[in-house]
């Protein structure tokens, strides 16, 4: 199994497990959005206003970052990559080790490796490594501080 497949698998499994623990709809990956539907431009504009009005509200900033993430993930809109990355990184300045933010940011890096730099092995590996680092940080968050159930504690990489 390739390094790429392992990293992608871990990121997706962790993201699904993390969000499934809090999902409002059974098996729904993104609890802030309707499953399978990319947020509309109008909805993203509203999220931008909400986050601008409350720039220190983790929930609102993270939600905006996730909206950008889904524009890239669901629509393939590469212009959403830097917006998703900077917004999710801003959310981490509000709460440094927020596992949900770490998982989405890590998944973003893995997806960039798969979709954007797939023909550039050095850049691809750097994206996968960064993604895995972030997912592992999310996974390693102490249970006493985490609001989430980590079901995949036993995940490990073996080459």
pLDDT, one tens digit per residue, over 49-98 is 999 999 999 999 999 999 999 999 999 999 999 999 999 999 999 999 99
> What tokens were used for 14?
């962790």
- SS3 at position 119: coil
Q: How many domains does the chain have?
A: 1
The answer to whether position 150 is within a domain reads: no
SS (HEC) of 12-38: HHHHHHHHHCCCCCCCCCCCCCCCCCC
- The predicted model gives 8-33 an average pLDDT of 54
The answer to whether position 153 is within a domain reads: no
Question: What is the rounded CA–CA span in Å between residue 2 and residue 5?
Answer: 5
DSSP codes, 51-103: HHHSTT-HHHHHHHHHHHHHHHHHH--TTHHHHHHHHHHHHHHHSTT-HHHHH
CATH number at residue 22: 1.25.40
The answer to whether position 156 is within a domain reads: no
Distances (CA, A) of 57 to 25, 47, 63, 91: 24, 12, 10, 8
pLDDT at residue 9, rounded to an integer: 61
The answer to whether position 144 is within a domain reads: no
- pTM exceeds 0.85: no
The answer to whether position 8 is within a domain reads: yes
Instruction: Find where tokens 């940080």 sit.
Output: 137
The answer to whether position 129 is within a domain reads: yes
Q: What domain range includes position 124?
A: 3-139
């Amino acid at each position: 199994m390739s390094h790429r497949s392992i990293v992608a698998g871990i990121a997706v499994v962790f993201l699904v497990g993390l969000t499934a623990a809090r999902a409002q709809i059974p098996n729904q990956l993104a609890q802030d959005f309707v499953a399978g539907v990319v947020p509309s431009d109008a909805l993203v504009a509203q999220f931008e206003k909400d986050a601008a009005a409350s720039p220190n509200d983790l929930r609102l900033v993270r939600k905006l970052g996730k909206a950008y993430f889904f524009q890239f993930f669901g629509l393939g809109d590469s212009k959403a990559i830097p917006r998703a990355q900077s917004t999710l990184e801003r959310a981490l300045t509000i709460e440094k080790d927020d596992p949900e933010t770490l998982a989405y940011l890590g998944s973003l890096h893995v997806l960039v490796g798969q979709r954007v730099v797939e023909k550039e092995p050095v850049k691809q590996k750097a994206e996968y490594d960064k993604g895995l680092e972030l997912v592992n940080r999310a996974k390693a968050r102490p249970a006493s501080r985490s609001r989430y159930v980590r079901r995949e504690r036993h995940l490990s990489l073996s080459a």
